[in-house]
Amino acid sequence: MHIELFSLCDAATEGMGKLNILGAFDSIWTAEMPVVHPQCSIALRIRFNSIERGEHKISVNFVDADGKHIMPTADGPVRVNFPDGQRSGTANLILNIHGLKLEKYGEYSIDLAIDGRSETSLPLFVKERKR
């Protein structure tokens, strides 16, 4: 298994096996707290080898610097299947987030686990913008 793409972005779509992302970012600038980011997406593309066919559990946690969840854990199964003779295949996943409320300045973390094992994390920096 190889994570080809894991990104926080303005929007993402998937169609015909293609993952499309718009506006990848890692920082939000704001003059006031709390801030509500109206819409964003987490886009994920994972490549699986032929021996990894079958069902896998994907979990995404969005936490603040203290480890407090800022939204419920997003988890669920993904079924990986592709033609015999093909040595690998991909799964594209999109998590759309509406009304993301961030309570304080600082660093947040988007943590990805697959089959109960921590795989990678994305930082999100919320920074003060002077008026």
In contact, 21 and 93? CB cutoff 8 Å:
no
Domain holding 93, by residue range, is: 2-128
In contact, 38 and 51? CB cutoff 8 Å:
no
| Length of the chain, in residues | 131
Residue 112 sits in a domain of what CATH number?
2.60.40.2550
State the pLDDT confidence band at 130, using cuts at 50, 70 and 90. confident
For residue 35, what pLDDT is reported?
Answer: 96
* CA dist list (Å): 58 to 8, 83, 99, 117: 16, 22, 23, 9
3-state helix, strand, coil in the chain (%, to 5): 0, 70, 25
For residue 26, what pLDDT is reported?
Answer: 98
How many folded domains does the chain comprise? Answer: 1
- 50-69 mean pLDDT: 96
Residue 131 pLDDT more than 80? no
